[in-house]
Every structure is written in C-alpha cells, then in structure tokens.
Structure 1
Amino acid sequence: MTGPLFLGIDAGQTTVKAVVHDDRLRPVATGRRSSPVHHPRPRFAERTQDELWASAAGAIADAVAQVDASRITAIGISGHGDGLHLVDDDGEPASPAITAMDGRAFREWQRITGDADRAKTILEVSGQQAPLGGAGPLLAWMREHDPDATERAAHLIWCKDVLRLRLVGGDPETDLSDATASFLDMRRGQWSREVLEAYDLGWAERLLPPLRRSADIAGAVTADAAAATGLAEGTPVVVGLHDVQASAIGSAALVPGRLSLIAGSFSTNGVTTTGDEVDPRWQCRVSIRPDLRVAMSTSPTASPALEWAVRVLGGGAHDARDALFDEAAALEPDADTPAMLPYLLGSPLGDAPTAAFAGIRAGHGRGHVFRGVLEGIVCMHVWHTRALATSYDWNGPIRLGGGISRSPLYVQMVADAMGQPVSVVRGDEVGAFGAAAVAALGAGHFASIDEAQELVELADPVAPRVELAGHWQRIIARFDALNDSLAPWWIENA
C-alpha cells in the first residue's frame, strides 16, 4: 500500500483513540487507551495533564506501530470541550485536566446564572448559558480555592490543545470550535471582554490564547514526542478541533439542516445551521467553517447511565454488557418497563435533579430495568431535540453516533422515539475520522471539509416502526411527567 496517511486522535472524557487513515480516510490502524477520571472529592472529575498525555501517547504508539510512520502526512486532534486546562509560560501544567463532567463550581455557576443581567449577557454574546463544567465557573472556583494555580497560569487551553502542545511544543493556542465554549463573541469570532466581565473574570483576559483555524499547521512533532509515540520527527500537526464538531464531520453532518445525535459521555444533539438563535436550552457554537454554526443541546446522560447500569446489574461479569443488551432486546418492543431519569452526573434541568426510577414491579427482571435505562437515554435525545426544534429545522435521516449506537436495539429505539429514519456511520471512530479529515485539509489533500465528508460511509437508514408510535408517545409522556413530579422533591433535597 502506498500513498499518504493521516492520523486522527480523539481524546474524549474517558478514552483516547488514535486512528491512522488512508488517503480516502479509511481506517488502517487503531490504538485505544483508557484515560481514567479521578473523583478525589464529591463533584470533582479530573486527571493530571501528564496522565492525559500518557494515555494519548500510548494510543498513538499502538496505532503507529502498525504502519510506516514516515507515510503519516499530517496529524489532527479532537478533544472534549469545556472543562479547564491551565498551563504556565513554559507550557507546563498549572492545573489538573478538569473534565466537562466536573461539578465543583456549582456555587459559582448558581451565582452567575442567578444574576439575570450577567446571564443574559453571557447567553446573547457567547451563544450559550454558562456551562457548569465550563471554563467560566471553573476559573472562578480556582481563583477562590486555588489562587496559586491561577497565579502560575499563563494560558487557558482545552483538552486537544494540551495534547498538541506535548506533540509540537511552541506557544499555546486554540481554535474557534473550542474557544466558543467560553469567552468568545460567537458572532464576531473574537474573544469578548464583555463576556469575561459578566463572569467577573476580567483579570483572566491575560490567559486567553491566540485563535487559529482548526486546519492551520501548528507545528511539527518534536524529537521527544517522536520518542514517546513512534511518530516521525517533523510530522506536521494541525491546530485541531472540539470533538463534537469532529464527530459531526465524521458523520457527514457538518451540513446546513443536518441533525446529529451522539450517545457518548454526553448526550450531544446538534443541528448545523447558518443561524445564530440563542436559548438557555442549547449552545450556539462557532463551526470550523466560519459561515456555519452548530446549535447543540447536551447533558451527561448517555454512557454514564449505561455504564452504571452494566456495573450494577451485570455483577462484574466480563460479558455483562452484551448479556444485558440481549435480555433487553428479547423483550417485546412494547414491553412494560420502569421509567428512568438518567441524571447520575447532571441534567439539563439545573444542578438539583438526580437520577431516579419509577414503576418497577415484582415481575420485572434485569432486562426490563436495563431496557428502562436505554429508554431514559433515548428520551434525553427527544428532550434535547424538542428544544432545538423551537428554532431550527432539519432534513434527511438523523445521524447517530457514539458507543451506544453500535447496538442495533438502541438505533431502532431512537428511530421509533424520534419518528424519523436514523443512519449510523459504518466506522466506529467518527471523532478520529473528523480529526484526520481536518489534518488532510490542512495538508492540502482536500480542498474543503465537504470533500472529506463525501467519503463518510453510512449504513442504510433504520425506519421508525409506525405501529409503536403510540407506545413511544406514552414513554415520553411518562418521562416528562416524572420530571415534573420530582421537581419539588429535588429542590427540597438539593
């Protein structure tokens, strides 16, 4: 095999994947490493930046060992958004690698969102309500509880920027797709002093890094990085992008009017648009294409709920996940199942809601309970897309990605609940595809990101079962009613 290769690195909340692609973005080698998240105190979700890099370096080394490293023409990185990563003047860590699932700054978040004027400024200028696990509340928390870290810090960057800095050195910088999650004026594409002041973070302006385009070449692999990963020294590395937008590219969804659902660490539901409508229920974020934005409504209600259910119901068996899916699939499509609210790590309804079951009966087995969990996760897609539908339209089959989408049962459930056809990408690693596509764009292999998206291979759409429309209407109505019923209890017990 000859021709250029492109490496896409996708660093999520819990796993780092490195996938080498050929010149038509077909995967030829893959490496995967766990990136464990520590919870040293309630609401904390972090790791060290060194641990993040070690996971990435291991995944890269595993993938690169399967190919001729000299053929890798360019490298792209996608990383989870939000969270907080501070580095000093030398690019050394000044804070942990705090993930977007972190909730330590809930009091700061309450103070910000509880001030109507400040909250309005943040929403209207940045395109989103202050995210609990975002840079604004977390910086405010850090200033109060670890002032030494904010004094040492010289730059605020994001997950993918940490990894790129380890690969190429140089000065910290970021791209618009990550910057738009914090203090960016989303219409002008520039840092906003007004948003900083609304967060009461005017002092942090010195931390904001230079803004680059995602496909710009940021530097080349250093000798140290080459030794750690097996990459060839001097290989170009592009700036990179937020993993949600990388996944949109990998799902051929970075097209106006296309809806993409991702069931990963977060339930991420985004529609690509030329509009700039804002609402507290979604984030209107700048795309890697300046003429497009991604309006996305999200919550940490997908794989955290699934993995919890596998752990609790599976009893530690190595095949527990497959067995539970099989038991859930063996039930009749309209089986009586318990309702589940999947708010183990948070919800889109505020910081008070917690997870809950209702309607468990003596005749229910673990298959019923597990299917109820899946239905709860599906209902979150419905909740988020109903919000988006108040301002945005979409067309064509819905794109579905994320780890849970590998289950045919889940794909069919999403189609039934949404009442629309659903297409799943044939490849497993859509984020790594998107990162590699941007690398190939930066290297001049593609003239546009649209050209790369034309190479995405989709499975045949899964159609909704019309005969189950009434059943899913009842499930969704029950889900909504449970939210309404528990609201006073959540507030009283927050």
Structure 2
Amino acid sequence: MKYILGIDDGGSVTKAALYAMDGTLIAARPGDNVPLRSSGGGCTERDMEALWSSNVTAIRRVLSAAGAEGRDVAAVSATGHGNGLYLVDANGRPTCDAIISTDERAEALIERWVADPRFARDILPRTAQSLWAGQPPALLAWLKAHRPEALVKARWALLASGFVRMRLTGRPTANLSDASGTSLFNVRERRYDPAILDYYGIGDLEGLLPPVVGSAEQAGTVTEAAARETGLSAGTPVAGGVFDIASSALASGLVEKNRLAIVTGTWSINEYVSSAPVIDRDLFMTSIYPTPDSWLITEGSPTSAGVFEWFINNILDPAARLAGAAAPERRDLYASVDRLVFDPETEAGRVPVFLPFVFGTSKYPTLRGMLSGLEASTALPRILRAVYEGIAFSHLDHIRRLERFQELPGEAVFTGGVANSPQWTQMFSDAMQRPLQVVEVKEAGTLGTSMAAAAMIGEYSGIAEAAKEMSPGYEEFTPDPSKAALYADRYGAWNEALQKEAGRHAAE
C-alpha cells in the first residue's frame, strides 16, 4: 500500500501523518517539543537544528506507528506556520535561530511604513495585505539595521515549510500560497516585486528570496542524506506544499466560493474563498489559494487557542510548581479546565473581560493582552472563563470584519485546537449564533498539504478534486438561541474594552 506523508510545523509543535490516497488517516505522530526562546523586546525564536531534529523524529515515529517503510511513501508535502524568517546558508544550515511569526521586535518599522502615504497608494494594491512585525520584510529590515552579521552568511530567507523542504530535498523553495502571504509578493502578478522590496529598504536582499513553486508542483526529491536521517527513500518526490491557513481550509473541503471557515490554532484564522482578490487597508490578508482562479480572504491575529497555551505555560504550570505539585498531563488539564469553565455557576456569574493580544494583533499594533473587571469575588474559574470567551470574541470580531466585504452563509466550517473541546466549540456556536460544522479530522494541516502531494503524483486531477475526495465528514453544532442575549452583552463589553484600549494607545 502506498501512502502520502504530510508534515506540519506550527508555531509550537511538529506533526507528521501518513494518509491513504483517499485521505484516510493511517497514523499521526508529533516530534519532540522545540521551545520558543524569548530574549525580551518582543523576540520569539527557536533553534532550527532542534526543529529539523523534531521533524526527523516525527517522520520516524509515524513510519514505525504505521508499520511502514520509506518505500511505502509515494510522496511528501510540508506545511508550516506562515511568515517568520528562517535564514540558512547554501546547504540549508541555519545561520541564526529561526524567528517566529509572533515576533514583535520590528513594530516601529511597521508603524513607519504604514503611516507613509505610499503604502496605501503603491504597496497595498500589490501585496493585498496588512503589514505586521512577524513578516519577512520587517524582520529582514530589522536585521539589516540591528544585526547585519546575521545576514552575512545567509544564502536563503526561507519560511518554516521551506526550511523543511530544503532539508529534505537540498533545494530552496517557497510555495506560491505561502509566498503570497508574506507582503513581499505581488499577488496579482504572482512574483516578487522589486518596487515592494525597495519600499521596505531591502531591495539589496532580493537575492535571498527562494524560487517559487506551485503547491502541487514537484519541489524536489528526498536526498540520500535526508533519507538516512528520516527513514524515507531517496528519490521520493516532494510537493511544493501549502500555506498553513490554506492547508486547514483544504482539509475542511473548502473549495466553494464565499463559504466561511474558522481555524482555531496559534492564530485566529477566519477566511473564505473568493473568485477575486479583495484590496482594503483594513483587511488582514488576501493570498493565493491553491485551487484554480481562487483567492483566500482572511482576517486573523495570534489570538486563538495558542493564547490558552500561553496561559497554561506561563500561569497555570508555574502556579502548580510554586505549590509543589507536578503539572498534570495536558489531556487531564484540558478536561479539568473545561469542568471549571462550563460549571453553570461560573457561566452565570460576573466574568472579567480578557483581551487576548498577548502576542499582539495587526489591527492594533501596539495593543497587548489585558484582563479587566476583576473583583474580590473573582476566582480562577471565572478568569479561565474570561480567557475562553476572549478568544471566541476575537474570532467573532474578525468575522464581522469579513462580512463587510462579502455576505457569508449562516454556517461555518470549524477546525483547530478548540474543536477538541465540544463544550468550547459549543460556546463559539452560541457566541456567534452560527451553526458550526466541525470537521472530523485530527490533523488538518497535514491532511491539507497531503492533498497537494496526491495531486502532484496524479492521484487526482488537481487540488480541488483532492479536497473534495479526501476531506472527512463533520459534526454539526447548533447555537442555543437562549444564550444569544448573554453573549451579545459580553461581546459588547469585550468590544467596548477593546475600543477604549485602542483609542488610548492611538492617543499616546
């Protein structure tokens, strides 16, 4: 039996999964944890060699779990978090730590670029997306000004999936959908644009940008060296792959135009497929979708399930250690938190307001996370409830912005970390008063990018057919109309706090 291997390098976890040609999941395994490093000043980085080692581990684990060998893998495809910066030499070896897309060090550059009238007039019509500090142009410009030594030995400026592909194939590439979300790319003309690079002051760094390949095009084949490390067979074809936000949408079967998809990962991703690009200063992103004549219209920010992980890692786990207790297993912890959050007494009480901008947000560049409305009676269950609600309201805020551009249907496709909690998923449905079709897929990122590989080797006529045939079914959550007023009031309080803080920051 032949399989497709999908790899997903998110902002925190590496996963590998094997699929049958019809999309049936055979096995999925994680790599080793690669912790983020923060040196202050908004920096978020990680060790790239440790990341590659995590990929090797994940690949070997999933082959073992499936009882498969390298020769059983017909093709490989990788996805990963968009943006950030992975600088490597000509051999694909890191020249410095990877910079993650939640990095904030270059915010001053963003403010200057966006304030310049030329941005709205000349640059936005080409890139079709907002700028934020974790994108390659800001990071390259910041390194050029503050750490030029980091660029001296660099030959290629890659993205996360591009780094993995280069270590697999020895060839530098960026897939078209990934490249189109970097603010380096002219999305209409589908090419790097020197005028854009010159605007950022990095025209001299154009040579660092890798060649662009289509998602279902062959980016190379597994090298002998990579085969020895991973257990794959040398010569196995590797697809261009898919931008992670598009990969999750494909795994949801999203090929129809103007259908809403919600992805709850490190980022709050809310998107629909359009037959034409949307150019608007207030829109987060228009990128190129892998299906024919399609554009992915996206509103997003790093304010989703990843913020809950931040809360666990920085508050709950340290509190447990302070009390002399061992941190519980994640699965047990999630279940315990759900019990506290969805206790009727917790839901009915006065819940604080939580703005989940601990990693920032492109819409309000200087805004950060905030917990307000604490009282003497406020205990941990209601703080946890505020975190859950704040994340849901951030998604709702993004969706309302999307609805300015396109009338969207009542229901939405729903995937990501939140979907692992039926109660939290129901909260989303109740808060939005929208039916949610929860896709029955454990690893949306690996499945979506595997569709590109299946199309590459001719198993399907293209990615659109692969998405239709390989996508799983879904479970529908319907909103409780009796909760509409409750969440309307709480979202109103949340939005009022957001606008107040945004106004205060704008005045400073």
| TM-score where L is the length of structure 1 | 0.95
Alignment check: 8 A CA contact 1:304 1:345 kept:
no
Q: State the distance in 1 between where 2:383 and 2:30 align.
A: 31
In the TM superposition, what is the alpha-carbon distance from 1:372 to its structure 2 partner? 1.1
Aligned equivalent of 1:26: 24
Residue 312 of structure 2: aligned partner:
310
Give the aligned partner of residue 103 of structure 2: 102
Give the drift of 1:255: 2.7
How far 1:120 sits from its partner (Å)? 3.8
Judge conservation of contact 1:256–1:274 (CA < 8 Å) in 2: yes
- Partner of 2:173 in structure 1? 173
In the TM superposition, residue 395 of structure 1 has moved relative to its aligned partner by: 2.7
Q: Give the drift of 1:88.
A: 2.6
How far 1:241 moved relative to its partner? 1.7
Q: Rate the CA distance shift 1:120–1:475 in 2: closer, same or farther, 3 A.
A: farther
Does 2:369 match 1:367? no
- 1:291 equivalent to 2:305? Answer no
Deviation at 1:288, TM superposition (A): 1.6
Once the two structures are overlaid, the 10-residue window that deviates more, 476-485 or 392-401, is 392-401
Following TM superposition, by how much is the alpha carbon of 1:491 offset from its aligned partner in structure 2, in angstroms?
5.1
1:405 aligns with 2:431: no
Q: In the TM superposition, what are the counterparts of 1:232-381 in structure 2 within 5 Å?
A: 232-279=233-280, 280-311=282-313, 312-313=315-316, 315-316=319-320, 317-318=327-328, 319-331=332-344, 334-381=348-395
Does residue 141 of the first structure (1) align with residue 139 of the second (2)? no
Q: How far is the alpha carbon of 1:290 from its aligned partner?
A: 4.4
Letter of the 1:206 partner, please give it. Answer: G
**What's the TM-score once normalised by structure 2's chain length?**
0.92
Distance 2:150 2:232 in 1: 33
Q: Deviations over 1:267-321 (max 9, x none)?
A: 1111111121122332011112341011111111113321233342464330333
Structure 1 residue 192 corresponds to structure 2 residue 193: yes
Residue of structure 2 equivalent to 1:466: 481
5 Å matches for 1:156-235? 156-170=157-171, 172-180=172-180, 181-235=182-236
Q: How many residues in Structure 1 have an aligned counterpart in Structure 2? A: 490
Residue of structure 2 equivalent to 1:443: 457
Instruction: Give 1:304's aligned amino acid.
Output: G
Per the alignment, do residues 408 and 120 of structure 1 end up closer, same or farther by CA in structure 2, a change over 3 Å counting? farther
Q: Counterparts of 1:282 and 1:492 in 2: how far apart (Å)?
A: 23
Secondary structure of 1:241's aligned partner:
coil
Contact 1:423 1:458 in 2 (8 A): no
Match of 2:378, SS state, is: coil
Cα distance, 1:449 vs. partner? 1.9
Secondary structure (helix, strand or coil) at the match of 2:475 reads: coil
Determine helix, strand or coil for the equivalent of 1:284.
strand
AA partner of residue 71 (structure 1): D
Q: Greater shift after overlay, 142-151 or 432-441?
A: 142-151
Q: Structure 2 residue aligned with 1:483, among 498, 502, 505?
A: 498
Shift of 1:89: 2.8
After the TM superposition, which segments of 4 or more aligned residues of structure 1 sit over 6 Å from their partners?
none
Cα distance in 1 for partners of 2:287, 2:247 equals 13
* SS in structure 2 of the partner of residue 460 of structure 1: strand
Q: 1:23 to 1:132 in 2, by over 3 A?
A: same
* Conserved 8 A contact 2:34-2:47: no
Q: What percent of counterpart residues are identical?
A: 29
The CA deviation at 1:188 is 1.5
Amino acid at match of 1:327: L
CA RMSD of aligned residues (A): 1.8
The residue aligned with 1:387 is: 401
- SS of the equivalent of 1:461 reads strand
* Corresponding letter in the other structure for 1:68: A
Q: Could you tell me how far apart the structure 1 residues matched to 2:231 and 2:18 are?
A: 13
Aligned residue for 2:54?
55
Equivalent position amino acid for 1:236 in 2: P
Report deviation, 1:397: 2.6
In 2, are the aligned partners of 1:282 and 1:388 still within 8 Å (CA)?
no
- Deviation at residue 492 of structure 1 after TM alignment: 6.9
Instruction: Summarize deviations over 1:330-384 as a string: whole Å, max 9, x none.
Output: 2265543111111111124323212112222333332221111111000001111
Structure 2 CA distance for partners of 1:486 and 1:160, relative to 1, 3 Å:
same
1:116-131 equivalences in 2 (<5 Å): 116-131=117-132
Change (3 A) 1:132 1:213: same
> 1:259: Cα distance to partner?
1.2
Cα shift at 1:119: 4.6
Deviation at residue 444 of structure 1 after TM alignment: 0.8
Looking at structure 2, the residues matched to 265 and 285 of structure 1 have their Cα atoms a distance apart, in angstroms, of 19
* C-alpha displacement of 1:396: 6.0
> Aligned partners of 1:25, 1:226: CA distance in 2, in Å?
24
Query: Could you tell me how far 1:489 is from its partner in structure 2?
Result: 4.3
Report the residue type matching 2:336 in the other structure. A
Contact 1:168-1:220 within 8 A present in 2 as well: yes
Q: For the residues of structure 1 that align with 2:310 and 2:143, how far apart are their CA atoms?
A: 30
2:225 maps to amino acid? D
Higher alpha-carbon deviation: 65-74 or 99-108: 65-74
- How far off is 1:71 after superposition? 1.3
Runs (5+) with no aligned partner, structure 1: none
Cα offset for 1:440?
Answer: 0.8
1:41 is aligned to 40
Supply the distance in 2 between the matched residues of 1:163 and 1:186 (Cα, whole angstroms): 24
